[in-house]
Amino acid sequence: MTTERLFDIVNDPMRTDVRSPGRLGLEQILDAYQRDPDFASMVTRWERVPAVAPRLAPFPVWLDERIVRTLRGRGIHALYSHQAQALEAAHARKHTVVVTPTASGKTLCYDLPVLHEIAKDPSARALFIFPTKALAQDQLAELERLSTEMEIELKTYTYDGDTPPQARAAIRSAGHVVITNPDMLHTGILPHHTKWVKLFESLRYVVLDELHMYRGVFGSNVANVLRRLRRICAFYGSHPTFICTSATIANPVELARRHVEEDVVLIDESGAPRGEKVLVFVRPPVVNASLGIRRSALLTGRDIAATLLASGVQTICFTRTRVQTELLLTYLRSRFPQPQWPSDLVRGYRGGYLPSERRAIERGLRDGSVRGVVSTNALELGIDIGALQAAVLVGYPGTVASTLQQMGRAGRRGELAVAFLVATSSPTDQYVIEHPDFVLGRPPEQGLVNPDNLHVLVGHLKCAAFELPFDRAERFGTEDTPGVLSYLDEQGILHEAGGRYHWSDQAFPAEAMSLRTASNDNVVIIDTTAGRTRVIGEVDRFAAPVLVHEQAIYLHESRQFQVERLDWPSGKAYVSEVKVDHYTDAGLSVRIRVLDSFASEGVAKRSGRERFGRAHGEVLVTALATVYKKLTMYTHENVGWGKITLPEQELQTTSYWLSLAADATPGWPRERVEVALAGLGDLLHGLAPLFLMCDPHDLGLAVEVRSPHTERPTVYLFDMTPGGVGFSERLFRATDALLERAREHLAACDCESGCPSCVGPAYAIGHDVKASVAELLA
Amino acid sequence: MELRERLARVAAARAVLREVEGRTWKGSGSNGTGSADGEEDLPLRGMHVKRHQIDDETHASPSEGPGRRRERDARSAPFTTSEERHDLRELGLEIVGLTPPDPLTLAHLGLRGEPPRRWEDVVFLDTETTGLSGGTGTYVFLLGTARIEGGELVLRQHLLQDLGAEREFVGAIHKELEAFRACASYNGKAFDLPILRTRVVLALRGELNVDETHLDLLHPARRLWRDRFGSTTLRQLEASILDEPRGNDDVAGALIPDRYFHWLRLRDQRIIEPVLRHNARDVISLVRIADRVARAVMDARSGRVPDHARAALALARIFERHGEAEPAYRCYESAYVEGDSTIRVRAALPYTRALERRGEIDRAIAMLETLLGLDIGTPSWREQGESRLRRLMRVRWRKQALATAS
Ligand SMILES: [Zn+2]
């Protein structure tokens, strides 16, 4: 990653050019695509981004001469401007956040200050925190290479779940740089800080790489882990400087401040050069107008990737899920049969592969022996796979930041590169593909965290008390710290003595707490047709009672499956393929009770009418799936029903709500209000993730024709995380923009009366749904 | 909403979610409810048992009790120290405190570094802690030590009176422990000492230097007795080696942390008393087990080899490791003679080595031939046995050749 342009060109024999493209060069392929009317009709934007020249800055005069010598030896005679800025800021002990594109040499921004510090003072220590273990491995290798070349005595170790117990003692006392992840910091290092005295006494730098990953629940947890870290540092008398790096988001400084809780310097002007690049936005055509179904993004993506690979263009494909990765891999391999093509022409890469397998693929990508790879977002982060020529994104990755990072995998070295984004029929994808500027312009997404969410904070406050007793006046995030402490004292979890609160429970609190969301705790769908057992997909657990209750018809890749058995406790739905002329529709009775309203106000009038009121606050959501209906395809007649017996789910969280004012639906019959409200709910729920850097599943939807709280028809969008991570407040503030986007999206949607990409299918909600929602928003 | 109410809701929401879904909140942590259950029935149980114990003690005159007990109690003191003295022979000791410590015996017990010359330099210890998982939030609240002093066993217990006074408490026990050349424990290497070390760092920012001189009796006890009794918990050894099973009034180790927390809140001596007794018993058993281990070693060395084959084999290995060829040989022999075929297979190869060292090549060859003829042992063992046999044959041949030549 640090081996950027200058390394590559001057002094890196490993990075000789990718094998020269075969039959057709990339230029010709793109040309052919532009001339092909079928392809051109799918393209919503063809953007050519010109090359950018580097901006360089001299090495700081204070920089250790061994470092300078080594860099010169590698052919680097200057730094990129952002690297030099980062170096100066870190050297001046200012917390820093560096926001520059993929492959701009971010790693040197923190490697160099740390190397310099340890070169000057061998007792100095640094802690590198990476969101995943794989990233840590990569960093270890790079830092070791650098320090060896520089002849600086520097011991770098990774400390994670894979570190053998025999090695741990040496790492604790001798490691200059300890590379770890937040989870290990949380359960393995902080609660045992007395074994890390040397590290904490002399901790100068903490590196937080991929800061944008620390958002949502995970980020809120990590922010609290960092509070604990700083508390322990203070106990041992150190005050480390934080160096953060982040992908492009709208609020890097705010996010960094939430984590560091002190002033942070922003460095966001990249001095790195960029090659010429073509970005293509592709929307597969509608194949079933009645159901509003488009051609599969996966198949369209396969065709593009196959064309590129057949011409020798080294290509990376990104999919959104593991299952899709496997599917696309299978599709592509069947396009390149042996023996005409080498067996490992295309490789798969995702979590769940063995580390050695992954390393081999990474090497293959770097040296050009692997020509194609299909990956989940596992390869989006800074794992060193060198430069590829083309990237094919199957489905919008969910955030602009991810999109840019994935697209950035193509084209690092001053040659022409291309990235395709192929949209699925989900509302978010359709919005993005219809509005490419959403990706190409300034990012609208905020990395949101809410470290003071009591659900999150109390858990960490317990961990903190386990680590060191609390002084009565001490603050841990919230102003209310003394209140929380005395509450825990009453509960017997803490014990006050001598003016301090001591941990007084035999449990080890960190062990019982995971930093990650429960979002990967999905219900897995297992196809058992003809004696197979094959995972074909997964659904969110909150949605599972509706989608995969027993007897439900589950659609997958345009095929019908019936759920034969749902093993609720272990999260498995067993299905088999069927050919029937009906589908199922389950009713979910969601009840929402407002516990506390934090703020509420009217939405600016439009066309002289007051239509909406907005608010956000704390709610209690209960959801119960009760019955399902069997409806015929196309005619949607009710031909039967059944009961669903699954447990009710309860969730205490924060919610945003939008209520219709009396003027919004003048004289409308109740049924029409119901239909319009349901459609509006679907539309807003589909678009809200565009602002929040979240997955649609992170946000729940409920509508009430007459809310007991607002006494008006109301749409609720609530945070699926207990306690909330800040989505509702952000939506409250962004209401105008959200409604504006909804209006645009509805007007641009090709469908006649409502489809899954906008307000939901008209046949299921009501024939006038699209028109009614349009009138509400007009 | 009121903070208090919100916190209660947080706790409730977690409980509900955990129940309903059984998985959403991996991260609930331990909340008050878990320990609250224990708290409710704990004091009652404690009171019944204890009342009668305390009465016993109050009425007992010093000479009638198992030991003479003195207590230095100060209400406001950060910790209290109590002391009782025991007659060594009444405790059934034969070696500890009575015959000078033998360096090799101590080495057999796992001691590294320079051995102490007097039993007075060894401290036996056992801690009671506020949790079993380690980490910086686990406090040591009770340290029980035993030492030999003036021909008596002196048992001391330091009890932390409140968590806020930890610094003084740890300072005092740190000082007490540092005065000794060696310390002995049961499973202390893995449990008591790491926790003590953590407390010393936290409270004093200091270090505890007992590593090199630490005797962990768990390991020799395991070598000697695991095969015979299955488990080698201190509890098990009391029953099987000392023949004094612990009664029903003994408080279970898992309940000790909650009992201490409970005592901190209620300050009723009847709650903590059983914990003190439990700890005292642990420390004394520790000394007596050490005595038994030492006795087994001394006996074997002086020719009284245990007739229990597995113990003999364990001792044989210890002797061999420390270069005492003669007792090693005798123990191997005993293991071989008394053992069943499994033990014989395990003892055979080292036993031939011992025989060879003594020059008894013929016996070694005869034994191996017999064993291999029985068609027992694993293929890899048989392979080793056969190669050993071939080597011994060559040695014998060479010896004979030399004898003929001269
Ligand atoms: Zn539509």
State the DSSP string of B151-175.
Answer: TEEEEEEEEES-GGGHHHHHHHHHH
Q: Which two tokens stand for residue A776?
A: 């509400």
> Given B17, B28, B31, which is nearest A491 (Cβ)?
B31
Contact A332, A343 (CB under 8 A): no
Confidence of residue B61 (pLDDT cuts 50, 70, 90): very low
Judged by a CB distance cut-off of 8 A, whether residue B9 touches chain A is yes
Instruction: Count CB pairs under 8 A between chains A and B.
Output: 164
The answer to whether residues A637 and A598 touch, using CB atoms and an 8 Å cutoff, is no
Write the residue in B4, B137, B261 that is nearest to A492 by C-beta: B261
Residue A437 makes CB contacts below 8 A (sequence gap 6+) with none
**Are A194 and B136 in contact (CB < 8 Å)?**
yes
Could you report the predicted ipTM of this complex, rounded to two decimals? Answer: 0.74
* Domain boundaries of chain A, sorted by first residue: 3-50+274-440, 56-267, 469-512, 522-580, 586-777
* pLDDT in the model for residue A772: 93
Q: Which of A194, A483, A484 sits opposite B198 (nearest CB)?
A: A194
Q: Which residue of A has its CA nearest to B204?
A: A194
How far does residue A760's CA lie from ligand 1's centre (Å)? 7
Give the mutation candidate from B18, B19, B26, B79 for the A interface (greatest A CB count, under 10 A).
B26
Q: How far is the CA of A290 from the centre of ligand 1 (A)?
A: 11
What pLDDT, on the 0 to 100 scale, is given for residue A24? 61
> What's the gap in Å between the CA of A586 and the closest CA on chain B?
20
For residue A425, what pLDDT is reported? 80
Q: Under an 8 A CB cutoff, do B3 and A468 touch? A: no
Using alpha carbons, select from B260, B137, B134, B126 the residue that is nearest to residue B202: B137
CA dihedral B285, B288, B289, B291 (to 10 degrees): 160
**How close is the nearest chain A Cα to the Cα of B383, in Å?**
33
Per-position DSSP letters for A183-226, written without gaps between them: HHIIIIIGGGGGGGHHHHHTEEEEEE-SGGGS-HHHHHHHHHHH
CATH number of B3-20+41-64+74-297: 3.30.420.10
Residue of A nearest to B129 (CA): A506
Confidence band of B159 (pLDDT split at 50, 70, 90): very high
Q: H/E element holding A699?
A: strand A699-704
pLDDT tens readout for residues B318-344: 788 878 888 889 889 888 888 888 888
The segment(s) of chain B belonging to CATH 1.25.40.10 are 305-405
* pLDDT for position A676: 94
Question: Testing the interface with A: which of B20, B24, B189 to mutate, by most A Cβ within 10 A?
Answer: B24
B16 vs A396, more confident: A396
- Residue A388 structure tokens: 């590829």
3-state DSSP of A403-457: HHHHHCCECCCCCCEEEEEECCCCHHHHHHHHCCHHHHCCCCCCCCCCCCCHHHH
Smallest CA–CA separation between A510 and chain B, in Å? 7
How far is Cα A403 from Cα A429, in angstroms, rounded to an integer?
Answer: 12
Ligand 1 centre from A436 Cα, in Å?
18
Q: Nearest chain B residue to A493 by CA: give it.
A: B32
The answer to whether B7 contacts A500, with C-beta atoms less than 8 Å apart, is no
Residue B262: closest CA among chain A residues belongs to which residue? A492
Q: What is the pLDDT of residue A575?
A: 93
Domain with CATH 3.30.420.10 in chain B: 3-20+41-64+74-297
Cβ neighbours of B162 in A, within 8 Å: 497-498
Could you tell me the distance, in angstroms and rounded to a whole number, from the CA of residue A751 to the centre of ligand 1? 4
CA dist A21 and A107 (Å) reads: 30
For the domain made up of B305-405, give the CATH fold: 1.25.40
B258 lies within 8 A of chain A by CB: yes
- Are residues B32 and A193, on separate chains, in Cβ contact within 8 Å? no
Phi, psi of A667 (to 5 degrees): 70, 15
Q: What residues in B contact A519, CB-CB < 8 Å? A: none
Mean pLDDT computed over B20-35: 30
User: Rounded to the nearest whole angstrom, what is the distance from the C-alpha of residue A740 to the centroid of ligand 1?
Assistant: 16
Q: Which of residues 125-164 of B touch A (CB under 8 A)?
A: 130-139, 162-164
B-chain CB neighbours of A618 within 8 Å are 1
Q: What is the pLDDT of residue B45?
A: 28
Q: What is the third-level CATH fold of A3-50+274-440?
A: Rossmann fold (3.40.50)
Round to whole Å and give the CA distance between B140 and A564: 55
Below-50 pLDDT ranges, chain A: 1-23, 518-520
Token code pair at residue B203: 């409270």
Q: Which residue in B has a C-alpha nearest to residue A501's C-alpha?
A: B164
Indicate yes or no: CB of A455 within 8 angstroms of CB of B132. no
**Tokens representing A692?**
């929040």
3-class secondary structure, B318: helix
**How far off is chain A from B73, nearest CA to CA, in Å?**
19
Q: What is the pLDDT of residues B171-221, one digit of tens each?
A: 999 998 888 888 888 888 888 999 999 999 999 988 887 766 778 888 878
Residue B308 Cα to ligand 1 middle (Å): 85
Query: Is the pLDDT score of B21 beyond 80?
Result: no
- With CB atoms and an 8 Å threshold, state whether A509 touches B137: yes
Peptide bond into A21 cis (omega under 30): no
The CA distance from B12 to the nearest CA of chain A, in Å, is 10
Distance A301 CA to ligand 1 centre (A): 22
Residue to test with chain A: of B31, B140, B259, B260, most A Cβ within 10 A:
B31
State the pLDDT at residue A17.
Answer: 33
Q: What is the pLDDT of residues B239-270, one digit of tens each?
A: 777 877 777 778 888 889 999 999 998 999 99
Q: How far is the CA of A752 from the centre of ligand 1 (A)?
A: 7
User: Are B123 and B184 within 8 A, CB to CB?
Assistant: yes
What's the CATH number for A56-267?
A: 3.40.50.300
What's this model's pTM, rounded to 2 decimal places? 0.78
pLDDT surpassing 90 at residue B359:
no
Q: Is B206 helix (H, G, I), strand (E, B) or coil?
A: coil
Cα-to-chain-centroid distance, residue A562: 31
Interchain proximity B134–A192, CB inside 8 Å: yes
Distances (CA, A) of A719 to A220, A254, A598, A616: 14, 21, 15, 11
Q: Taking ligand 1, which is a single-atom ion, which protein residues have CB atoms under 5 Å away?
A: A 749, 751, 755, 757-758
Nearest to A518 among B10, B14, B26 (CB): B26
Selected residue of A504, A567, A619 to mutate for chain B interface (largest B Cβ count, 10 A)? A504
Classify strands A470-471 and A500-503 as parallel, antiparallel or unpaired.
Answer: antiparallel
* pLDDT exceeds 50 at position B50: no
Nearest CA among B154, B181, B184, B145 for reference residue B290: B184
- Contact call for B137 and A512, based on CB within 8 A: no
A522-580: which CATH architecture? Beta Barrel (2.40)
Beta-carbon separation of B27 and A514 below 8 A = yes
Mutate: best of A190, A194, A467, A516, partner B, most B CBs <10 A: A194
**Which residue type is seen at A658?**
L
Q: How far is A732 from chain B (nearest CA, A)?
A: 20
| Chain B residues 101-130 with CB within 8 Å of chain A | 130
Do A507 and B163 lie within an 8 Å CB cutoff?
no
A229 CA to chain B: closest CA distance, Å?
A: 14
Amino acid at site A275:
G
Q: Do A541 and B21 touch (CB under 8 A)?
A: yes
SS3 B219: helix
Looking at residue A221, what is its pLDDT?
Answer: 93
What spacing in Å lies between the alpha carbon of A567 and ligand 1's midpoint? 35
